[in-house]
A and B are shown apart, each in its own frame.
Chain A
Amino acid sequence: MPGSKLGLLKLETLARLEETALSTWMRESGFAFFSALTVHSLAMAFVVGINFAIALRLVGFAPRLEIAALSRFYSLHWYAAVFIFISGMALLLAYPAKALTNPVFYLKLAALTLGLLISRHFQATFFDRPKVTNDRRTINLAYVSVLLWVVTLTAGRFLAYTHNTLLASRYF
């Protein structure tokens, strides 16, 4: 693919994107890149943390804790998810070639999307329904949710170590 016509066209498009003023600013302004990175980490910690707490409850921890009440934290979770999206777009804009040519980036994106879909399902199932009980399927889904969030975190960390294309030089 990298040597093919399509690959070269893709790289050329990404190089043009990296030459835009916004991409250059994101990359070369220490404040912009660091802020996006920090907001991404903080928001990710809250989204993953809330999902871990709900999954822990669903698999049997703290059985007296009402799932319906715990799912009140989903409102905060979705605000944090919006921050993940905005800061993620900003980070992607800084180094589009580095991320978009790396399969690990797509793994992170897929795990994140599936994890959020399960969150949406849990919220729709448990929010304001104090009488619901967690069956085997829900417990399995909670385990899958934890696995997906672990994959998201791990893929996110490995992004920095697995890229094979870096068009723009790193300022810092």
Chain B
Amino acid sequence: MIEILLSFSQATGIYSFMNSPWGWPVAESIHFFGLCLLVGTVGLFDLRMMGFAKEISLADLHRLVPAGVAGYSLNVVTGIMFLSTAPDQYIYNPAVQSKFFFMLIAGINMVFFYATTANEVKSGDAISRVLFRAKAIAAISLACWCAVIICGRLITYYRPPYHWCLWC
């Protein structure tokens, strides 16, 4: 796994860029920029579904979500850059594993939202049961993204091989 990721990084030029004097902090800045876009769009949509700022139409607020998807894409690209440049520091790191776990929960939660609740919520004629479900989905989403930020900060504190990990 480590060899595959490293050869990908070296073959694509990511490794050289990340090991240049400012490569790593530039990628980190873009990573946090993407996260802020996500919090500013998906996070605000979650807060609105939880009952904050009820004057705002959910359908109109939802139009900002594509910017959050763009932010998430930046996170994926820069995340791959970190992971492929120093795979041993990431795949055996429990903070990274926890981060991936919360991203997975957020992803499943999002699929569940669009499959069961999104249309009713955006049309504005949601009955109370749907509203409760929407609030629960929003709370899970917001909690997951906050956990992703916290785990991201924890990565520095759990450098392998000194700590527990799932598959090392």
Contacts and interface: CB of A to CB of B under 8 A. Distances in A.
A52 B37 contact: yes
Contacts of A57: 64
A45 B47 CA distance: 14
Given A65-B61, A70-B56, A154 B29 contact: yes
A42 B63 contact: no
A69 B64 CA distance: 14
A85 interface: no
Interface string B1-42: 000000000000000000000101100110011011111110
Given A61-B67, A69-B53, A38 B153 contact: yes
A153 interface: yes
Contact size range, B: 35 or more
Contact size range, A: 35 or more
B77 interface: no
B81 to A, nearest CB: 14
Contacts, number: 114
Contact of B154 (A34, A53, A73, A161): A34
Contacts of A65: 56-57, 60-61, 63-64
Given A41-B153, A157-B29, A157-B32, A73 B60 contact: no
A158 B35 CA distance: 17
Contacts of B112: none
A76 interface: yes
A49 B28 contact: no
A66 B60 CA distance: 8
A78 interface: no
A48 interface: yes
Contacts of A51: 40
B50 to A, nearest CB: 12
B43 interface: yes
A76 to B, nearest CB: 7
Given A34-B153, A49-B36, A62 B64 contact: yes
10 contacts: A45-B35, A45-B149, A46-B43, A49-B36, A49-B40, A52-B67, A53-B40, A56-B40, A62-B64, A156-B32
10 A-B pairs with least C-beta separation? A49-B40, A62-B63, A49-B39, A72-B53, A48-B36, A65-B60, A53-B40, A52-B40, A154-B29, A69-B55
